[in-house]
Amino acid sequence: MYQDDYRRWLSASLEDADLKPELQRIAGNDDEIKDRFAVALKFGTAGLRGVLGAGTNRMNIYVVRQATQGLANWVKTQGGNQLVAISYDSRLKSDVFAKTAAGVLATNGIKVRIYDALMPVPALSFATRYYQCNAGIMVTASHNPAKYNGYKAYGPDGCQMTDDAAAIVYAEILKTDVLTGARYISFAEGVENGLIRFVGDDCKKAFYEAIEARQVRPGLCRTAGLKLVYSPLNGSGLVPVTQVLNDIGIEDITIVPDQEYPNGYFTTCSYPNPEIYAALEQGLKLAEQTGAGLVLASDPDADRVGIAREGPAGSYELVSGNEMGVLLLDYICAGRIEKGTMPENPVAVKSIVSTPLADAVAAHYGVEMRNVLTGFKWIGDQIASLEAAGEVDRFIFGFEESYGYLAGPYVRDKDAVIASMLICEMAAYYRSIGSSIKEHLEELYAQYGRYLNKVDSFEFPGLTGMDKMSSIMQGLRDNPPAEIGGYKVTKVTDYQKPEETGLPAANVLIYALEGGATTVVRPSGTEPKIKTYFTTLGKDVAEAQAQKDQLAEALKPILA
C-alpha cells in the first residue's frame, strides 16, 4: 500500500521543487519509503506536527492543503463570519504553508486575515478573537528542531481547537485526497479577489494595548535602569517583545546578534527550546560582557520564554518554569493588592504537573487556584467558563511548568510577550527596593518550604515508539508500584478515570508518596517521549535533590 502511494507521488507533477528529488533519492529504500508513506500525520487538538519532506507522514504543501480543506469543510458548517485568521513563525516553509492555507480557504469562499510578516502564537489568538473568526491557523512547530514544522488550529475563542471540533476536521481530512482533493487558488488570486486581506494596524495596536494594560505597577520601568539581554532565538518574538518593552520604558536591550533575525535553520541553537541551557548560552555570554541583570529568550513562535538572572559573583543562573510561575503569581498578587486592582474572588490556573508551591502562594493571597490537565487550552477553557459567567476579570494568571505564562483574558494561549513584560517589571521592582529576583525566590522558599521540581524525559523514536510508550503506560496501570525508590505510594491518581478526577480523561498517572513528594508520569502530546515530573520537599536543596535522584533511578528500569 505505502509503495503504491510512493509511486503515485513520484509520478505526480509536484509543485514544490524540493519534493521530487527527495522521492527519487529514496527509490528502492523500503525503510525510507515506509517512514514517509506507511502512515499519515494525524490531525488532533494541537493540529499537525512533523518533519518537513515528501509523503503523507511529512509536512509539505499537500498535507497542509488537505488539512485546510478539512478545516474549511468544518468552518462552512459553523455560520458566523466565515473568516479564518492566519499567522506563521520563522520556520522553513512557514510562510509558504500559511499562504497555501489561505489559498485553500479563499477558494472555499472563506475570508482570510493573515499577518503580513511573522507574528507569534498570542498574536494569532488575539486576531482570531479581534476579527470574530470561526478559526485560526498558526504555522509553527514551536520549539522542535529545525527539520520540523507544524500547523496549530484554533477555535473561535482563540483557544486551541476542542477535541470535538478536531475530530470533525480530521474526519473531513480523511475524506480528502492528499494530492488532488483540496480546492486551491494562488495567494495572489485570493488577494486580488478580496477574500485574503492582511491583519490591520488597528488589530496589532489593540494587541499591544491589551498587554500593556496588564502592567502591575505602570511607569515603574521608566526609572528603574534595568539592563536586559534578549534573544528571539531567530523566531517571531523580536518585533512584539521589543515593542512592548520599549513602550513601558525599557530601552537598554541588547539583542543576541546571531539570533536576532528570522532563521529557520536555527544555526546557533539546533534545539530552540528556552527550557534548555544551550538556547540561552549566547545570551548569557553577552550578559557577562554588558553587565545585564536579566537574560530572556523566547521560542520561535514566542509563546514561551526562558530566563536567567544574575547569580553570585557575576554568574547567571537559569530560573525554572515552575520558579518563574510562582514568582510571577506572587508579584501579581502582592502588586495588585497594593495598587487596589485585585478583582473580587481572583482565580489563577495551572497544570497538574506544575509545582504545588503555587497552590500555597495562591492560598496565602486568598486566590482560588484551579488545577487543569497539561496543555494551555485547558487554562483557556477555564477563562472561557469565567467569561460565560460574566466574571472573566477574575482571571489574573495562568502558567505551565514548561515556561508558558498568561496574565489576562485578552488571548487564550500562553504569551511570551506579556511574560517578558511582567518579568522585566518584576525585576525592575525588586531592584528599586534593593532586592532581586533571586533574593525574593529565597524568601518564598523560606516562607513556604524548599520545593524542588524536576522533569526527566525518555525518548521512543521510530514507528514502534508510540506502541512502546503505550505498553509502558498500560504496564504501570496493570501493575501499579507499591513504592518508588523506597518511598511508599500512598495514592495513585489515574487521569484516564474522569469520574475520579473531575477532569477530562488524560493519559497521566500521579503517585503521591509518603513524606509529601509526588511523581507524575505522562506521554508527551507532541513528541515521542514519556515525561516524568518530580516534586520533592526538603529542608534544603541538597535533601530535595537527593530524594529526586532516588525516585528517578527507581523509575529508569521501567521507562528505559
Active site residues: 142
Q: Is the dihedral of CA 368, 369, 372, 376 positive or negative?
A: positive
| CA atoms of 99 and 95, how far apart (whole Å) | 6
Are the C-beta atoms of 150 and 49 separated by less than 8 Å?
yes
Question: How far is C-alpha 339 from the chain's CA centre?
Answer: 31
Are the C-beta atoms of 55 and 16 separated by less than 8 Å?
no
Q: Which amino acid does the sequence have at 160?
A: Q
Are the C-beta atoms of 512 and 380 separated by less than 8 Å?
no
Backbone angles phi, psi at 533, to 5 degrees: -115, 130
Neighbours of 268 (CB within 10 A): 18
Are the C-beta atoms of 507 and 523 separated by less than 8 Å?
yes
Scan for cell 536586559, then name that residue.
228
Q: How many CA atoms lie within 13 A of 416 on its CB side?
A: 35
| CA atoms of 384 and 339, how far apart (whole Å) | 26
Q: Which amino acid does the sequence have at 60?
A: N
Question: How far is C-alpha 392 from the chain's CA centre?
Answer: 22
Segments of 440-494 assigned E as strands: 450-459, 483-484, 487-494
Query: What letters, b where the CB count within 10 A reaches 16 and e where it falls short, cover 204-228?
Result: bebbbebbbebbbbeebbeebebbb
Neighbours of 130 (CB within 10 A): 22
Quick one: the chain helix, strand, coil %, rounded to 5?
Answer: 40, 20, 35
What value does the CA radius of gyration of the chain take, rounded to a whole number of Å? 24
Q: How many CA atoms lie within 13 A of 435 on its CB side?
A: 12
Segments of 216-361 assigned E as strands: 228-231, 253-255, 294-298, 305-310, 316-319, 347-351
Q: How many residues does the chain have?
A: 560
With a CB cutoff of 8 Å and minimum separation 6, the contacts of 557 are: none
Are the C-beta atoms of 40 and 54 separated by less than 8 Å?
no
| CA atoms of 95 and 389, how far apart (whole Å) | 39
- Of all helices (H) and strands (E), which one includes residue 510? strand 509-513
